Structure 1
């Protein structure tokens, strides 16, 4: 199977995201659970702001990586 460079990059990015997402609950399950509880107690606006901040930071890092 021949993959294009774009699909390989997307697959690598997805793999890295899954590794990072799984690392915290694996290494620090109690701390991860506490953090998750705090997030569920946040208002919708706070969660959206956190999501927007993460998106913006990700875009900035992506742009810096391309320079």
Structure 2
């Protein structure tokens, strides 16, 4: 289990690194736009992402 978790975290780093490498300007614009969104909305979106990720993980395993 710990090896799988570490592998998953490494893949997250690879994907985020690819986005920064491929489109740094778009990433910076997105970061500026995120500051304009209220915290409640960001939390709701974050919670939705967590649920989607957990459901997808459950379907895969």
Compute the TM-score of the two structures, normalised by the length of structure 1: 0.84
Q: Which has the higher contact order (CA 8 A, sep 6+)?
A: 2
In the TM superposition, what is the alpha-carbon distance from 1:25 to its structure 2 partner? 1.2
Of Structure 1 and Structure 2, which has the larger fraction of its residues in helix?
A: 2
Q: How many pairs does the alignment contain?
A: 61
Give the gaps of 5 or more residues in structure 2.
Answer: none
Which consecutive aligned stretches of 4+ in structure 1 deviate over 3 angstroms post-superposition?
A: none
Compute the TM-score of the two structures, normalised by the length of structure 2: 0.92
Do structure 1's residue 38 and structure 2's residue 33 form an aligned pair? yes
Do structure 1's residue 14 and structure 2's residue 9 form an aligned pair? yes
Give the gaps of 5 or more residues in structure 1.
Answer: 1-5
Do structure 1's residue 55 and structure 2's residue 50 form an aligned pair? yes
